[in-house]
Amino acid sequence: MASLALTSSTSCSLAFNSLPCLKSRRFPSPTLRSAVRLSSRLPSSISFAAGARFSPLATPCLLKSNASRTFRIRASSEAPSSSPVPVPAPAPAPAQPWQGAAMKPLLASIATGVILWFVPVPEGVTKQAWQLLAIFLATIVGIITQPLPLGAVALMGLGASVLTKTLPFAAAFSAFGDPIPWLIALAFFFARGFIKTGLGNRIAYQFVSLFGSSSLGLGYSLVFSEALLAPAIPSVSARAGGIFLPLVKSLCVACGSNVGDGTEHKLGSWLMLTCFQTSVISSAMFLTAMAANPLCVNLTMNTIKQTIGWTDWAKAAFVPGLVSLLVVPLILYIVYPPTIKSSPDAPKLAREKLATMGPMTKNEVIMAGTLLVTVGLWIFGGVLNIDAVTAAILGLSVLLISGVVTWKECLAESVAWDTLTWFAALIAMAGYLNKYGLISWFSQTVVKVVGGLGLSWQASFGILVLLYFYSHYFFASGAAHIGAMFTAFLSVASALGTPPYMGAMVLSFLSNLMGGLTHYGIGSAPVFYGAGYVPLAQWWGYGFLISIVNIAIWLGIGAFWWKTLGLWLVLKLDELGLEIARIAVPAAMALTADPIASLVDTAFIGRIGSVELAAVGVSIALFNQISRIAIFPLVSVTTSFVAEEDVMAKVAAEAEESESLETGIVSNNESNELIPQSGGPPNSGDVSSFEVASSKVANERRHIPSASSALVIGAILGLVQTVFLISAAKPLLNFMGVKSDSPMLAPAQQYLTLRSLGAPAILLSLAMQGVFRGFKDTKTPLYATVAGDVTNIILDPILMFVFRLGVSGAAISHIISQYLIAIILLWKLIAQVDLVPPSIRHLQFGRFLKNGFLLLMRVVAVTFCVTLSASLAARQGPTSMAAFQVCLQVWMATSLLADGLAVAGQAIIAGAFAQKDFERATATASRVLQLGWLLGLVLALVLGLGLTFGARIFTNDVDVLHLIGIGIPFVAGTQPINALAFVFDGVNFGASDFGYAAYSMVLVAIFSIGCLLFLSASYKFIGLWIALTIYMSLRAFAGFWRLGTGTGPWNFLRRL
């Protein structure tokens, strides 16, 4: 028999540098094809030189030889030859992996159902309901452990319910006619169009170009975008699936975070979980943000005969909702962080990508137009009688007809069909648990148990709230849960003493928030979970964690907010409101004038260079913190003491007036008896002795001992501060992280040394401001401050750039402005107050020192926290320090607006306590706190938008701008907390509660310092702002604790 050999050692050899896969039995050369044809006709084998058998029918390609890129192919027949070639035995085929269910999770699921099935049925529960509960819990265990994909597990659960006759077939599959599962599936089809057309990428790149310098900023932009749409789109499924799922998926892909390749944690895991958890919060904030919310309103009316209006709902939910929107992304960022935290080049790269993409394509235009029409139908569908799922079907029809999405692509969306299957199955089983009476039995049992405990209404309501909330694990629909349990729980809460309206509100809000527990608890859950970025165990685990956070916020901050809403109208311009406005508005303007001047300095210095900006930032932080050690106790004590002395002087004057009036009447009567009057009415030409005395007093200057004491102390402290700063400038800067070899040292030392010369003027002017505040006159300090700061702003560019003095020019401008302010205030004060005491014994040094020392402890604690944060920023380098300086100046300047309310509260409350008018003190405290919170919300919105687009006012350095972008969410988001902290200070100072203010602040500082050191080391720049957020939150909580518990000077609240 013939033998054919093709080898590299013969003249018939074939060599291949690269042999491609052999597809459809096509081979790269005629000779090779003939050899293979021969091998197919004869009982032969083709083998590599390495000895591996090759069959053209079984192997798709030829493999390269390890020794050479030349292949050797040998064909031989079974006939004996002179040199037989040994044929190795065929290798055994590899064992196929098990394609079925994971047996341990499957057995766990079955065991759960079987055990519960044979547990004795409780009294009051039907056997059918108990059996369905066993199947339902077994299905839930299977969904958690996932022995099979979720759809398969749910389908098996439905099969078990039909097989056991627990549910008829029509009932088991009834939820496939429910609109919500189909709306979720349609959302995935929309997402396919978003990604396929490139519209998703285009929008994603737009978001990244604006907010992409940090993951946190990107997340917050999506969170608040969704919240703004919430009141207009009543379907959370449509909002999440039709609008934000496609956008979030596109953002994740654009940032290199994909499912299945190990990059989920780059951005996608955190972003998906954040968007989902905040979607349930925004649903709770507005009556029209979730389809089941009107059901709560209807059941409330039927149960307690009270109506919850749209405005009432929004007012009650807005404050706790906003806090949750700010806090929840931040907590998830800490406990479940994305690996990409900042990307300074991302906005630039995104803009380049947008330029590369060019104008919108035809399919993008169709996709965008279809989405806009669909969203419009979701918003106005109620008027047009078109529900959400119908609108989505119309939109998908347009995409199918235009070819933007094909039906084959819809069929290939396996996640959509899988989600449709398991979600519909759970809705059906949960719905029939209610119909079979199991949920009603559970509600009645809870009511009996809780009602029989004999607890206070607060404790009873707390237990009811927790049971209502966490029973949602058994529901796949918010509407089903509300319909089954809302009425029973509201009725028993009201019977146990809970204010009915408040109880209805709380249960309504929690009916949305509980949807965050699972991946099936609310319409947005399957949408975001189905994206595949978060494993199920983590989804449930973080859902439970966030549920604790939400309950704490809504029942903590929310309770305080609801109480204030029920007692007073915040913006009512009654007598108290007008008095607060007269004091607070000028005070706030005066307080913010100096930081604004510092911002102007910062903007001018930023034009010199980032090193100078960072250097001046360190110097300003150091100067302000050392000044604050003396300023804060001096001004606070002066305001309270002068207010008290002024009120007491007025009381004494009123008593003297009354006595003089009585004396004058008696004297006039005696004169009339002795000297008859002729013509005209009695006493027509006389002037009473009291009128003469009052006129005389009005023309005389007052003597206020605390005013004289404050000025003497202020002058002494100012001189001490000047000497200290000049002599210790370099060591202090070294302590702040500006080392001897740092380029920041020279400009920082130069600026600090010059600016310290203005310390005496600053201390004197602020002591006089405290005097005027005690008189409830905040206009005079405003006029003086504005005059000085305008002078500063005018002199800055002249001295810095015209005379080329650089940072020295900025310092000199500031010194001149401060001495001008002090001169104006002194001139106005001398006209009203006799500053020279009758003797040195009339000065209040002992009283000032005692209370001032307490506040000094507080100020040292506050100063150390802020100074430490600036020092840690400086240690991270000039870029970090420059960004921190800008963020800190904006943070403090805007927060000080709330200090105007604190000044008003302190002055009015001090006077009320002096007169023992506790009702007025309470009313003032509540009003200024409410106003402070509202002011903080407004500032948060203004800063969030303004700083995002206006950061380039301060610098053009790209790296600094990137870090500023990271700090924006903290600078803006903490404004409500900051406002409350400042106002609580004024309230407690007005009650002269200086001891508690000092000791509580020391405890807050100790904890905050630990947070600063740990978080800055772990998270660098963003860690500093997380720690400062914790610090301000603790300050606000300390103030709330004193007032809320009715202790110290506020113990009279327990009797009200």
pLDDT tens digits along 149-203: 878 888 999 999 999 999 999 988 988 887 777 877 787 787 778 778 877 667 7
pLDDT, tens digit (0-9, with 9 covering 90-100), for 762-781: 999 988 988 998 888 889 99
pLDDT at 211 over 50: yes
76 vs 890: CA distance, rounded Å: 86
How many CB atoms neighbour CB 543 within 10 A?
A: 22
Average pLDDT over residues 218-224: 83
At 610, is the pLDDT very low, low, confident or very high (cuts 50, 70, 90)? confident
Contacts of 511 (CB under 8 A, 6+ apart): 284, 292, 293, 296, 478, 481, 482, 486
Structure tokens at 400: 């199918």
Going by C-alpha positions, the residue among 197, 211, 201 that lies closest to residue 250 is 201
pLDDT of the residue at 200: 65
pLDDT of the residue at 412: 86
Q: 559-573, 822-836, 846-860: which range is least confident on average?
A: 559-573
At 293, is the pLDDT very low, low, confident or very high (cuts 50, 70, 90)? confident
Structure tokens at 127: 């056997």
71 vs 48: CA distance, rounded Å: 7
Q: What percent of the chain has pLDDT over 70?
A: 79
pLDDT, tens digit (0-9, with 9 covering 90-100), for 699-747: 456 778 888 888 888 888 899 999 999 999 889 888 888 888 888 888 8
Q: What percent of the chain has pLDDT over 90?
A: 10
DSSP string, 370-409: HHHHHHHHHHHHHHHT--HHHHHHHHHHHHHHHTSS-HHH
Going by C-alpha positions, the residue among 547, 546, 431, 400 that lies closest to residue 180 is 431
pLDDT of the residue at 475: 74
620 vs 595: CA distance, rounded Å: 11
Q: Taking CA 530 as the corner, what is the angle to CA 527 and CA 533, rounded to the nearest 5 degrees? A: 115
pLDDT of the residue at 436: 87
Give Cα 787 distance to the centre of its chain.
38
Contact 160, 172 (CB under 8 A): no
pLDDT at 970 over 80: yes
How many CB atoms neighbour CB 180 within 10 A?
A: 25
Give Cα 912 distance to the centre of its chain.
37
pLDDT at 204 over 50: yes
The pTM score is: 0.50
pLDDT of the residue at 232: 59
At 77, is the pLDDT very low, low, confident or very high (cuts 50, 70, 90)? very low
117 vs 534: CA distance, rounded Å: 32
Average pLDDT over residues 405-412: 89
299 vs 295: CA distance, rounded Å: 6
pLDDT, tens digit (0-9, with 9 covering 90-100), for 307-349: 787 778 888 898 899 989 988 998 898 888 888 877 666 677 6
pLDDT of the residue at 345: 64
Phi, psi of 1030 (to 5 degrees): -60, -45
407, with CB counted inside 10 A (0-12, 13-18, 19+), is exposed
Torsion of CA 204, 209, 211, 215, to 10 degrees: 70
534 vs 528: CA distance, rounded Å: 9
Q: How does strand 45-47 pair with strand 73-76?
A: antiparallel
- Dmax over Cα atoms in the chain, in whole Å? 168
Question: How long is the chain?
Answer: 1056
pLDDT of the residue at 276: 92
DSSP string, 867-917: HHHHHHHHHT-HHHHHHHHHHHHHHHHHHHHHHHHHHHHHHHHHHHHHTT-
Average pLDDT over residues 10-25: 38
Contact 706, 641 (CB under 8 A): yes
Strand partners, 845: none
Amino acid at 968: I
- Enclosing H/E stretch for 5: strand 4-6
* Torsion-angle region of 2 (φ positive above 0: left; ψ -120 to 50: alpha; else: beta): beta
915 vs 909: CA distance, rounded Å: 10
DSSP state of 758: G
Contacts of 422 (CB under 8 A, 6+ apart): 143, 150, 151, 153, 154, 155, 520, 526
pLDDT of the residue at 700: 58
DSSP state of 483: I
How many CB atoms neighbour CB 107 within 10 A?
A: 13
Going by C-alpha positions, the residue among 316, 225, 330, 232 that lies closest to residue 279 is 225
9, with CB counted inside 10 A (0-12, 13-18, 19+), is exposed
Tell me the average pLDDT of the chain: 77
pLDDT at 136 over 60: yes
User: CA distances (Å), 731 to each of 244, 826, 862, in order?
Assistant: 53, 35, 21
Going by C-alpha positions, the residue among 284, 295, 291 that lies closest to residue 550 is 284
pLDDT at 392 over 80: yes
27 vs 56: CA distance, rounded Å: 10
pLDDT at 215 over 70: yes
Q: In what order do the strands lie in the sheet with 73-76?
A: 4-6, 73-76, 45-47, 53-54
pLDDT, tens digit (0-9, with 9 covering 90-100), for 497-538: 788 888 899 999 999 999 999 888 887 888 888 888 998 888
Q: How does strand 4-6 pair with strand 45-47?
A: unpaired
pLDDT of the residue at 281: 94
Strand partners, 46: 54, 75
Structure tokens at 370: 């279809």
Contacts of 785 (CB under 8 A, 6+ apart): 590, 593, 594, 821
pLDDT, tens digit (0-9, with 9 covering 90-100), for 976-1002: 888 888 899 889 888 888 888 888 999
Going by C-alpha positions, the residue among 204, 201, 184, 181 that lies closest to residue 193 is 201
DSSP state of 3: -
pLDDT at 124 over 90: no
pLDDT of the residue at 568: 40
Torsion of CA 449, 453, 454, 459, to 10 degrees: -90
Looking at per-residue pLDDT, the higher value among 15 and 731 belongs to 731
pLDDT of the residue at 324: 92
- Enclosing H/E stretch for 76: strand 73-76
User: CA distances (Å), 170 to each of 133, 176, 425, in order?
Assistant: 18, 10, 12
pLDDT at 689 over 60: no
| Domain layout of the chain by residue ranges | 1-81, 104-172, 179-567, 575-656+698-1055
Torsion of CA 873, 877, 882, 887, to 10 degrees: -30
992 vs 406: CA distance, rounded Å: 73
Going by C-alpha positions, the residue among 116, 125, 168 that lies closest to residue 438 is 125
> Please, where are the H alpha helices in 5-75?
30-41
3-state SS of 948-963 is HHHHHHCCCCHHHHHH
Contact 63, 7 (CB under 8 A): no
Contacts of 149 (CB under 8 A, 6+ apart): 418
Give Cα 226 distance to the centre of its chain.
14
